[in-house]
C-alpha cells in the first residue's frame, strides 16, 4: 500500500498570507488584451484591475505550490517510504 502525504494544507497558510502585500501602492501599467474580450468586459462593467489581481493571486498561489512541492519532493518521498515500512504515527489511535 502506498501512503500519500497531503501537502495541500501543509503550505496553504504560508501561501495565503504571503502571496503579496495587499497594502502596497497600486501602480499603473499597460497591457495588451484581446479587443473582443475587453469590449465585452467593459459592457458588463467588469473591473479589470480587480479581475487581473484575482487572476494573478491564483497564478502566484499555484506557482508557489508547485515550487514548494518540487523543493520538498525528496522529503515527501522519504516520509512516504518511512510510513509504508513503519505505518503512520497515528495508527495506534485509529479506530475501525
CA 58 to chain centre: 7
pLDDT at 15: 46
7-31: pLDDT as tens digits: 555 555 444 456 778 888 999 999 9
How confident is the model at residue 49, as a pLDDT? 94
The C-alpha cell 484581446 sits at 34
| Lowest-pLDDT range of 7-11, 20-24, 36-40, 60-64 | 7-11
Residues 5, 80 contacting (CB under 8 angstroms): yes
Average pLDDT (57-84) is 92
- Angle, helix 48-71 to helix 73-86, in steps of 10 degrees: 60
Q: What pTM, to 2 d.p., does this model score?
A: 0.63
Amino acid at each position: 500500500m502506498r501512503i500519500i502525504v497531503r501537502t495541500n494544507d501543509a503550505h496553504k497558510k504560508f501561501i495565503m498570507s504571503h502571496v503579496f502585500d495587499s497594502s502596497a501602492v497600486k501602480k499603473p501599467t499597460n497591457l495588451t488584451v484581446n479587443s473582443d474580450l475587453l469590449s465585452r468586459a467593459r459592457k458588463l462593467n467588469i473591473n479589470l484591475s480587480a479581475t487581473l489581481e484575482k487572476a494573478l493571486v491564483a497564478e502566484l498561489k499555484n506557482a508557489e505550490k508547485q515550487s514548494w512541492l518540487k523543493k520538498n519532493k525528496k522529503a515527501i518521498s522519504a516520509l512516504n517510504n518511512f510510513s509504508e515500512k513503519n505505518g503512520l504515527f497515528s495508527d495506534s489511535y485509529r479506530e475501525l
